[in-house]
Amino acid sequence: MITKEEIYDKASMYLIRNVGNLIGPGEPAFDGKVKVWRVPIFHMSKVAKFLMGEMLIGPNGEIVHVPTVEQLIKHGEKIELKM
């Protein structure tokens, strides 16, 4: 099985390439019930860091689910409205 560090690196590279550099992964956690790595996705700026979604990565490193850029933006806008 792939390591936590490898999952983090894979998630980080995917987000940089497909979303941008203000989005980054949090600490991966393995969910043994469904056998996937859950990786929180954070907006990371100099002003604030907040959760925007979650990506799922299989036990062998295959990306199972990532919210679309539009879904991440929509979630981020909801958070901004609450602040």
pLDDT of residue 78: 62
The pLDDT score that the predictor gives to residue 70 is 85
Give the pLDDT confidence of 37-74 residue by residue, as tens digits.
999 999 887 777 888 899 999 999 999 999 988 888 77
Residue 41's domain spans which residues? 4-82
To the question of pTM greater than 0.75 for the whole model, the response is yes
What is Dmax (Cα atoms) for the chain? 40
For residue 15, pLDDT over 80 is answered with: yes
Burial class (CB in 10 A: 0-12, 13-18, 19+), 14: middle
* Pairing between β-strand 29-31 and β-strand 36-44 as defined by DSSP bridges: antiparallel
Q: How many domains does the chain have?
A: 1
